Structures are given as C-alpha cells and as structure tokens.
Chain A
Amino acid sequence: MADEIQMKTAAYICSGCGLGDKLDIAQLGKIAQKEGKMALVREHAFLCNSAGVQMIRDDIEKEGVTHVCIAACSRRAKTEAFHFPTVAMTRANLREGVIWVVAEGSDHDEVRQEMADDYVRMGCAELKKMKLPQGNPNTTRLKSILVVGGGMSGLTAAFEAAESGYEVVIVEKQARLGGWANKLWKRVPFKAPYADPQDTGVAGLAARVSSHPRIRVHLNSTVAETSGAPGRFTVKVAQESGAVTEEAVGAIVQATGFTTYDIAKLPELGGGQANVVDQAGLEALAQTANGGVLKRADGKEVKSVVFLQCAGQRDESGKHLAYCSGHCCATSIKQAMYFKDANPDTDTVVMYTDLRVPGMGEDFYRSAQRKGVIFTKGKASGVEAVGSSCKVNFKDLILDEDTSLDADLVVLATGQVPSAGVDLDAWNKVVSEAEGGSEAAKQNKSELQKTSILNLTYRQGPDMPQFKYGFADSHFICFPYETRRTGIYAAGPVRRPMDMLQATEDATGAALKAIQAVENASLGRAAHPRSGDLSFPIVRLEGCTQCKRCTVECPFGAIDEDERRFPVFNEQRCRRCGTCMGACPVRVISFENYSVDTVGNQLKAVEIPDEFSEKPRVLILACENDAYPALDMAGLSRTVYSAFVRIIPVRCLGSVNTIWITDALNSGYDGVMMMGCKKGDDYQCHFVKGSELASYRMSKIGDTLTGMGLEPERVSSYEVAITDNERVAKFINDYVAQLVEMGPSPMKGFG
C-alpha cells in the first residue's frame, strides 16, 4: 500500500514564461523549503520542457519522491507534460494566477510577490494532506447493458451497443418491438431531397435486433426492481404472466418514450368529436388506407382536412402543455402529404401560428407547398360539428379577422408527454407523510410505485429525477443523455420532445454513454464529468451522527442508508463532486486527494497582513468547472484584478463545507467570494444541484456571521460562466473595493 511508503515531498519552481523576471524565484524556493517544509526544492528555467519533466521523473524514481508541488502555470495548463500518475500532485498557479493578472510595474512588485509566496505556501500545505487515489476497489467485469423500451430509441441504442461488442438486454412492455414507430404509416424523410414521406424502417431494425447474437429481448415485460450501481445492477424483469427473471447488467439506457397528450382534454378544439382525430389517429387511418385515399372512421372519403398545430401545446394558460413538442409541424406536413399524394384535389390546410421544422424540415415544408398544401397562419378558437363535417373557427393572423373553414376531418397536432415514471418531488412528499403514519399516504405511495418504470431501490426514490414538465433531467446542451442516476442514461422523447431522427441520434449517444459507464466502473473510475477520476468518498463512520444530510443532498442518489441510518456509499454511482463532503456537519467524509483538510490547510497557509497594512485578504472558492477556467482566461487575456485575492479551486461549490468559511473569517480574511455555476431551471452546474445546494447553505450563514460580529457581506456568492473572464475580474475588483470601504475584518490578529 502506498500509505506504508514514506511520504517524500518535493517542490519545483519554474522561472519560465516570464516568472523569473517578475518574481523572486529564490525567495519562493526558500518559502517552499522553510515554511512549506518540502524535502526537496528545485528551480528550473523551463520546467515543462523535456529536461524539466525528466528532472521530476528522475526524482520520483531515484529519490523516492511521492508528493510533488509544481509552482508554475495553472493546473489546467501543460497537463500532458506534468502527468505523473504515480505521485500526489498540487499546482501553485503563478502564471495565470499571479504574473498575468497583477498590474504591471514596480509599484506592484510587492503585492505580486506576496501573492506568489502565498500560492507556494498553499500548494505545499495542500500537498501534505493529499494521498494518491487508489481507485475504487469494488470493480466489476459486468459490461452488459439493459435497454428499457423497445421503440425506435431503444432499438437503436440496443443495436448500436451490440454492434460495439456489448451484450444487451431489452425490456419491452408490449408484445412486439417497435413502439410508436409501428403505428406510423410513414415517417418524415431523413435524407435529401427531403421531399416525400419515407418508410419507417422499424420492421427491419426490429428484425436485426431480434436476430442479433448479442441482444436478448424480453417482450410483455416490465422492470420490477433495479438495485445496485454501475457495473453491478441487478434487474428483476417481470413478465405479464407473472414470471420474474433476474438480469445482471452494467448500465441502463432508459428509452421509455412518450404518450400523446389526451385529445379528450381539448373539447374546445373538437376533442371527442367523431371527425376530429390526433396525429396518432390519423396514422391509423393512413395505415388502413394503405396508400389509397384516406377515409374517415365512418367510411366517408376525406375531401378536405384541416391540421391544427400546437393543439394543447405552447399553452400559456397553464391548462395544457406549456412546451413545443418539436416534431408535430413536420409530422403534420408529412400527414398532409398522405392526402395530397393519394388525391391532389384534397383541400389540405395546415393552420399554424409559427411553423417549426428543425433540421432540414424547411425543404420538406417547401415540398408540401409544391404539392399544394395550404399553410394558413391562424389560431383556431373552436371546432364545431356541423352535419357530418366540421367547422373550424379561427382568427386569421395575417388578415387579422375571425373566420372559419369547413372540413371533413380535423387533425389536432397534440404534443408528447414523457413516460419518465414517478415524479420524485411527489414521491418524497408522500414518503414522508407515509412515514408519519398517514394511511392515505401509504395508499398513494403504492399507487405511485405502480407507475414507476425502473423501480430503483435507491433511497432517493424509484425513478430518475425529473426536470421541467416531467422529462427526465438531462442538460439539453452540455450533457444530453446524462441523468442524475449514474449509469442510467435517458434517450429519446423521455428526456425532451423530439422526432424520430433525433431519437435515433440520441439513442446512439446514450449507448456510448452506457459503454463509458461500464468501462469506467470496471476500472474503478468515476463517470462524467470527472471521468477517469480514481478518488472516491471515504467516510469515517465512527464519527457519523446519522444526520442524513449526505444521503438527502447527493445529487446522484449515490448514498443509501443502512438499517441503522448510517450512509452506505455506492462508489460506482458517485460522480466525485464532494457534495456529501460539503454537507457533512461533522466532516467525516473525504477523498484521498480532496478533503476538508486539503482546502482548510491551504486557506490557513496564507499569510494575513495586519489591520494597519491596508492589504485586505479575500479568499475565493472557485468551481473548477467554469469559474476557475474563467479566472485562467482572465489571466490569458491579461485582465488585471486585485492582488489581494487568494484563489482555491473546488470540485463544485456543493463540496464547500461551511467550516472553510468560518476558518477563513477566523483567520482574519476580510471576505470570502464563492464562484460557482448558474443554478435553477437553466442550470449550468456540472453536478446539477451543487451550486444550488451551496447557495442554500450560504443563505443560512448570515446568522453565523452576525454571531461572530461580522457583516453578512463578508461572504458573497457569484454565478460565473466559463466565458466570464471579463466579468469575473470586475466581480473581484468591485468586491475588494467594497471591503476596503467596509474596513478590515475585526477578526484580524485573533487567528
């Protein structure tokens, strides 16, 4: 074990990139030796070149160095040169963090040097508390992938994963593979010239999947229970007959798709009338017509048809779906073509408020216009049954008048409603009521459980957390397919509304994510976004007070509870954000290379000038995903900011333990800035909930500060995006100016 090897520290100070011109390198070396207590201190004029790197390698091999502090550029720079996987390493950021951001000129020599001195002190202090991560010992070789749902998305995910060499198990609720695609007459075209509806191709895909040597299919089946973690999921597959089979899989793709919005909820648009159908209803008529003239349910040939777009969608009244389902305009265009292709004389009107045809849909739209489909910009106010036909009353938005159209058939373009299972907010409420003894709540709970898709045995509920409108939470730009349940990936309309082409692309992406997950789990490494990280949370259970904060706050449901309510960590589910570490009031959770001590030691290593020096000190805890890169970018663009700040990167603001704040203020810092990602509905937090939790925790810190006799403004929070290099410098300068006005912290000198 590495622990048994004697720790030997070494600091390497680079004088390249202008560091030697701006800083007293010899003094930095002395600090590393005397204050940092580094066993070995070396200077180099060009540390990242082959000679510099070789020098470090030689020391590791011949001198037995186990801990390396590199005082040079940012930890985000020269990562390939400074790649020493066998030792623990810290980086003191003297380039992006000091010489590039402190104002030019000899007037600033003193503060610049002080800043560099402190970063060397901090690097050495952190290093001594670090261990080389050993990786999660609980690895598995289980690499098969479960796909829940056998529709277009599920089939694609299964096929792609199987073709990549992984065993796949499909669970499909219905008796046949294909899902919604089975119910379509044709699909919208995926390829140039985007002119005509195409065969769905689902039969062929289903056949390829069914006969694939690496795919097994469970039809008429649902998932009765899912337990475990990436690399070791155990899934109970329940057949309609009642038989239960157990499957062991490494990762899960949930492609459970959608249902259509119920047209019975749209009586004002004729929902419920005999000659009003939704798009699914029209597909059924088209399948019956089998390429011929479309007939209504009563057998009458359709001579005129009106498609009403956004039926029960993009609704601002709160009664219907608030969102746009994305596919319905193109779907209506396709369906209008069914009529025009069978009989060009059919009066075919698509009524829209704005036509949204993503991808190459614009060509498809033009093709429909060429075929003679009439597009009317209007908003329907009602559909009346008149004799055996329908009258559509609408407002013509171009001509600005109320008018009407007669049609044999009206098609409502209703939206997609995700089949994402149980809403965990509702679930948690019912669970806590049920625990309180309410019989009604217990009943509710078992009703809810019946609607679950994955039936996870996780402490945090049976399904994936949902985002807006009941879709599975998944960052639609930055991290599609990622969910808040590690190793379980959402694909297709279950995570956002989409068409078939998008769903197949989505499924391919999710299959790749699942493959990454099983591979990472087999190596004991973290999954996205700290992919490859070998550290994992270690808990000192003897200190635990069973407060449950870690189990509640973990954004990924990684921590269960045992019967005595102690936390049970499932390392494979963990994303290594450290939110549990930040939550723990007794500070018993840590990582080998990131802990309450590694950060605490850094902030305490800073030399705090006395209250008469007029040199305030501000601690910045910066999220390493966005805020720290933005600070580096500020350096890269030579944006000057105050030399009174000392920056410590953190894995996520969620990992910030309040002890760091109180320690900092007790040691005489004048203020603390917390920089993290945007939170809320359009969050940018890489760990989804980290910045939100941090903000919640910090909202409670005001009382503590007042209790210490400090102004609440001494701790401030900022949302910083990766592009905010200019803004972040302004935040710093404004805050330092505010602190100067406020005067030095009264805690100075007591630390």
Chain B
Amino acid sequence: MSDSNKQAIAHYRNNFLKEVEDHVEDGEWVRMCMQCGVCAGSCPFGPHWEHSPQKIFMMIRAGKREEVLSSDSMWMCTSCYNCIVRCPRKLPITHIMHGLAHYAHRLGIAPKGQPTREIARLFWVNLARTGRVNELKFSLAMYFKDGFVQGIKNALAMQGIGIGLMKARRLNPMELLGGHKCKDKDGIHKMIAKAREIEERKQKFV
C-alpha cells in the first residue's frame, strides 16, 4: 500500500465522504446528489460500468472506500457530458468521475492494467518528456504494453497501416531516434512542475 494511501486512511478513518470532498476535484458536490438516477440512465456506457455514478455517490456516502477507489467504473467515462447536462442538482458528474479516477491513480490503488488508465499514463509520459507527442513511440508503447510477444503480434497486425502512413508521409520512422521536441523543453518541464504544485495544494496533498 502506498504511503499516501496509508496516510489518507489514517487521517479520515471511515469518513470517506470527507476525504473525497477534500481531495477529489469537485468532490464537494457528492453530498448534493439526490439519488434520482438520471445520470445512470443517461450514461451511454451505463451497462458496461460496474457502478453507475449514482451508485458511486451512494458508495462514497456509505464509506465504501476500497470498492470505489479500486473500481474501474470512473475509468469508463467517455466525457460525453450527458450526465452533467441532465443532472437536476447540477452536479459536475463527469468532472467528479475524472477526479475520482485521478485520486485513485495517485494513491496507487486504481485497477492495474485498466486500458484507459494505461493509455492516459503512456500518453502523459510521452508528452511530458519533450513537450510534443511522439506518435510512433506512443503507438509502439501501446503495442508492447502487454508484453514483448503480444507487442510483436500487434505490430505485425498493424504493419499494413504503418507502411501506408509512411508512404503518405504521415509517419516518420526516424522519430524513433529522439524525435521532434518543443523549443524550450526545460521551460515545459518547469511549467508542468508548477502546475502540479498548484494542483497538489488545491487538492490538499501538501
């Protein structure tokens, strides 16, 4: 168990709602849910979630910390904003879902290998390094995320498209060697560090 997770448990004991209100973006809205279920009914991915937003909110109030944070439900959100538009209590449900996912991720208890989490993580690592997205490296990282053999299989399956992209000059194999970057890489890194600092403070991690 990560240290931050241990600390959070120690601090909030069984008041998970308070923890969410303190640390999750827009988490202070959770108490305002009136359990009408419009969000659950509006979600286009509804049947594929383990817990609908309505249930997630109820579980938070019921103190079901582990179940909520280790759930992959929030990761299923496609940000279609149907729920936000329809919520009669005006809860920013999409944002809360992302906030919960982010919080679970940072505590290190988000589900391992969850595809949305994985793609987001790889995208961020890729982007933060140079300030530019290296599409070739990102694609390869995705192919190989489930191991070397699977990576080769994936690459072979996609080779036709890859060659087509190269012919159309949409993909440069030389990108594998370093690749393009923004002019002031250090500046980008500093900016990201500052943004992280602000965010940590806002969400009471420091």
A positions within 8 Å CB-CB of B: 355, 365-366, 369-370, 372, 374-377, 396, 398-399, 403
CB pair A369–B58 under 8 Å, yes or no, is no
Residues of B within 8 A of A399 (CB): 55, 58-59, 62, 64
- Residue of A at shortest CB range from B28? A370
The answer on a CB contact under 8 Å between A374 and B17 is yes
Q: B29 — nearest CB in chain A belongs to which residue?
A: A369
Q: Does B159 contact A (CB under 8 A)?
A: no
Nearest B residue (CB) for A371:
B31
User: Closest CB-CB distance, A103 to chain B, in whole Å?
Assistant: 50
Whole-angstrom CA separation of A355 from B33 in the bound complex:
13
Q: B35 interface residue, CB < 8 Å from A?
A: yes
- Cross-chain pairs A/B with CB under 8 angstroms, 8 sampled: A369-B31, A374-B31, A374-B61, A376-B58, A376-B62, A377-B58, A399-B59, A403-B62
Are B58's CB and A398's CB within 8 A? yes
Looking at the complex, which one of B17, B31, B54 makes contact with A398 (CB distance below 8 Å)?
B54
In the bound complex, residues from chain A placing their C-beta under 8 Å from that of B54 are: 398
Min CB–CB distance A743 → chain B (angstroms): 59
User: What B residues does A377 contact at CB under 8 A?
Assistant: 35, 58
Cα distance A375–B32 when bound, in Å? 9
**Which residues in A have their C-beta under 8 angstroms from that of B64?**
399
Give B contacts to A, CB under 8 Å: 17, 31-32, 34-35, 54-55, 58-59, 61-62, 64, 89
Smallest beta-carbon distance A49→chain B, Å = 55
A575, B34: Cα distance in complex, Å: 48
Alpha-carbon gap, A398 to B34, bound state (A): 11
Whole-angstrom distance between the alpha carbons of A410 and B143 in the complex? 57
| In the bound complex, CA of A376 to CA of B32 (Å) | 12
Q: Is the CB of B35 within 8 A of A372?
A: no
New A-B contacts (4) at CB < 8 Å, excluding given A355-B34, A376-B61: A370-B32, A396-B62, A399-B58, A399-B62
B107, chain A: closest CB distance, angstroms: 22
B55 proximity list for chain A (CB < 8 A):
398-399
**Distance in angstroms between the alpha carbons of A365 and B35 in the assembled complex:** 13
Complex Cα spacing A8 to B144, Å: 111
CA distance A377 to B61 in the complex (A): 11
Closest A residue by C-beta to B57: A398
Which residues of A sit under 8 angstroms from B31, Cβ to Cβ?
Answer: 369-370, 372, 374
Task: Give A447 to B55 CA distance when docked, in angstroms.
Answer: 54
Scoring B54, B62, B89 by chain A CB atoms within 10 A of each residue's CB, the highest score goes to B62
Q: For residue A401, which residue of chain B has the nearest CB?
A: B62
Q: Which residue of chain B has its CB nearest to the CB of A355?
A: B34
When chains A and B are docked, how far (Å) is the Cα of A255 from the Cα of B202? 57
Chain A contacts for B32, CB-based, 8 A: 366, 369-370
CB-nearest residue of chain B to A354: B35
| Docked complex Cα distance between A366 and B59 (Å) | 19
A370 to B59, CA, bound (A): 18
> Which B residues are CB-close (under 8 A) to A375?
34-35, 61
Taking CB as reference atom, which chain B residue is nearest A365?
B34
A437 shortest CB reach to chain B, Å: 61
Task: Give the contacting residue for B58; candidates A355, A365, A396; CB below 8 A.
Answer: A396
Central interface residue in B17, B34, B54, B64, by most chain A CB within 10 Å = B34
For A376, the chain B residues whose CB sits under 8 A away are: 58, 61-62
Residue of B nearest to A403 (CB): B62
A273 and B64 alpha carbons, distance in the complex (Å): 30
Chain A neighbourhood of B62, CB < 8 A: 376, 396, 399, 403
Docked Cα-Cα span, A654 to B20, in Å, equals 66
List, in ascending order, chain B residues with CB within 8 A of A369's CB. Answer: 31-32, 34
- CB proximity of A485 to chain B, nearest CB, Å: 43
Which of chain A's residues have a CB closer than 8 A to the CB of B58? 376-377, 396, 398-399
**Bound Cα distance A308, B178 (Å):** 65
A50 to B62, CA, bound (A): 76
Minimum CB distance partner of A366 in chain B: B32
Distance, CA A46 to CA B21, complexed state (A): 76
> Which of B55, B58, B64 has the most A CB atoms < 10 Å from its CB?
B58
**Contacts of B89 on A, CB cut-off 8 Å?**
366
**Smallest beta-carbon distance B105→chain A, Å:** 24
Partner of B35, one of A366, A370, A398, A403: A398
| A374: chain B residues within 8 A (beta carbon) | 17, 31, 61
4 cross-chain pairs, A with B, having the tightest CB-CB distances, nearest first? A398-B58, A377-B35, A369-B32, A369-B31
Instruction: For the complex, give the distance between the alpha carbons of A366 and B88 in Å.
Output: 12
Residue of B nearest to A362 (CB): B34
CA distance A369 to B58 in the complex (A): 13
Shortest beta-carbon distance from A694 to chain B in Å: 46
Task: Tell me the minimal C-beta distance from B16 to chain A in angstroms.
Answer: 11
Give CA–CA (A606, B55) in the complex, Å.
71
Nearest CB of chain A from residue B186's CB, rounded to whole Å:
45
Chain B, Cβ-Cβ closest to A373: B31
Q: Which chain B residues border A355 with CB–CB below 8 Å?
A: 34
Q: In the complex, what residue of chain B is closest to A400 when comparing beta carbons?
A: B55
Q: How many Å lie between the Cα of A28 and that of B91 in the bound state?
A: 72
Contact residues in B for A366 (Cβ distance below 8 Å)? 32, 89
Tell me, in angstroms, the Cα distance from A271 to B199 when the chains sit together. 50
Q: Across the two chains, which residue of chain B brings its CB closest to A377?
A: B35
Residues of A with C-beta under 8 A to B35:
375, 377, 398
Contacts of B61 in A (CB 8 A): 374-376
Interface centre among B17, B31, B32, B89, by most chain A C-beta atoms within 10 angstroms, is: B31
